[in-house]
Amino acid sequence: MTLHSILACSLQGSTAEIAELQNTTDPPQSSPVPIATADLEAERCFDWMNTSGSCHYAKNRSSFSTYRPVEVTIGANNTPILGVGTVELEVKKSPSSNETGRIVLYNVVHMPSAICNGFSPMTQAGEGLGTGASFGGTRVEGTEGGMTVWYTERFCGLDRLVLAGNPQGESHMTPGSHYSLSLYLSADEKRALGI
């Protein structure tokens, strides 16, 4: 089964592992370039699913606050990664309050073929995403100093980050389907991406 199959359709299984780099390029420039977010909001995916992978990934370029283009493919089927950057998300801090906060995801890879966005909080433990997580029956919460900084709710059998204002956009996930969404990059792939 190819990585594209794992990320772009529903399946039975555990996690997606990417073990081999198919195409390397020189490391990209080190300074990120700010971008405009001109995509129509209705076309943007707001499904930020909690994963256990080795990186965050975003489906839409409009998700990024900074962006550095790259031309790298990963995995056996040469899945294209078009860029790397920073994503800032306004989140609800707790299901019991309307308080919101901003979390910043670093080294997010831009993977348009993904079925959704992947949020892997353990890759940034202690960097604004909390130093711990608690797992309840219906949600996961990221905590810092005993305070909740983000939380998830169940969606399609998995945990989706709760964004402030409940933005609506494209969703390619189907209730009742099974998904494997974690993305693992090898050391060579990370080096090629400059992360």
- What pLDDT, in 10s, does the model give residues 91-144? 999 888 899 999 999 999 999 999 999 999 888 876 777 766 666 666 788 888
Per the model's pLDDT, the better-predicted residue between 10 and 88 turns out to be 88
Q: Is the dihedral of CA 123, 62, 113, 169 positive or negative?
A: positive
Q: What pLDDT score does 186 carry? A: 93
Q: Which two tokens stand for residue 114?
A: 């993904």
Contact 68, 28 (CB under 8 A): yes
Closest to 192 in 3D by CA, of 71, 32, 56: 71
Sole residue written with tokens 């050391």: 187
Give yes or no for residue 4 having a pLDDT over 90.
no
Q: Where are the domains of the chain?
A: 48-186
Which of 54-58, 59-63, 77-81 bottoms out in mean pLDDT, i.e. has the lowest? Answer: 77-81
User: How many whole angstroms separate alpha carbon 124 and alpha carbon 131?
Assistant: 9
CA dihedral of 173, 34, 69, 54, whole degrees rounded to 10: -50
Contact 100, 92 (CB under 8 A): yes
User: How many whole angstroms separate alpha carbon 48 and alpha carbon 119?
Assistant: 6
* The model's pTM: 0.77
Q: Identify the DSSP state of 171.
A: -
Per the model's pLDDT, the better-predicted residue between 133 and 169 turns out to be 169
Closest to 186 in 3D by CA, of 16, 44, 7: 16
Give yes or no for residue 74 having a pLDDT over 80.
yes
Residues 6+ apart with CB under 8 A from 164: 90, 91, 92, 100
Q: What pLDDT score does 23 carry? A: 31
